[in-house]
């Protein structure tokens, strides 16, 4: 994973959360449709086929979204695994900024550092994160 992946971690995490909510909405609509489908009077095969088609389409969309979420979750997991290889205090700086989504000025205050010093520490932390990639490629 690259530093760009790390920087996008929080955004991707929010995307996953949004997609999970979206899938829940789909599940609810599928449940409602199947309830209506099972309550249909006998003899309206055309309506039942239409409903069945809609359910199949919804299920396909849910499966596609689920696969995309799974891929993104694997990527998130790999970022966290790589982050664990960074030594402290750099790891906590990266975690607070990129995983928790805190502002650099807030992290500096929390850790008792001057803002300019925190900017330098953040740059060093990103370099250390990048170096974990280089060590893995060499090893």
Domain boundaries, the chain: 1-83, 87-139
Nearest to 8, CA basis, from 99, 111, 74: 99
Instruction: Give pLDDT tens digits for 68-98.
Output: 888 888 999 999 999 999 999 999 999 999 9
Fold of 87-139: Arc Repressor Mutant, subunit A (1.10.10)
* Single pTM value for the model: 0.69
Q: Omega into 46 within 30° of 0, i.e. cis?
A: no
DSSP 86: S
Q: Which two three-digit tokens encode residue 58?
A: 């919804």
- Say which range, 23-27, 48-52, 120-124, has the weakest mean pLDDT: 48-52
């Amino acid at each position: 994973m690259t530093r760009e992946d790390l920087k996008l971690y929080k955004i991707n995490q929010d995307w996953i959360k949004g997609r999970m909510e979206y899938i829940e909405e789909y599940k609810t609509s599928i449940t409602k449709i199947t309830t209506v489908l099972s309550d249909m009077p006998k003899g309206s095969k055309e309506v039942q086929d239409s409903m069945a088609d809609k359910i199949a389409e919804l299920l396909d969309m849910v499966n596609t979204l689920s696969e995309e979420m799974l891929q993104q979750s694997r990527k998130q997991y790999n970022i966290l695994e790589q982050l664990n290889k960074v030594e402290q205090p750099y790891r906590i700086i990266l975690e607070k900024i990129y995983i928790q989504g805190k502002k650099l000025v807030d992290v500096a205050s929390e850790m008792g550092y001057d803002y300019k010093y925190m900017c330098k520490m953040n740059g060093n932390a990103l370099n250390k994160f990048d170096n974990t990639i280089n060590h893995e490629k060499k090893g």
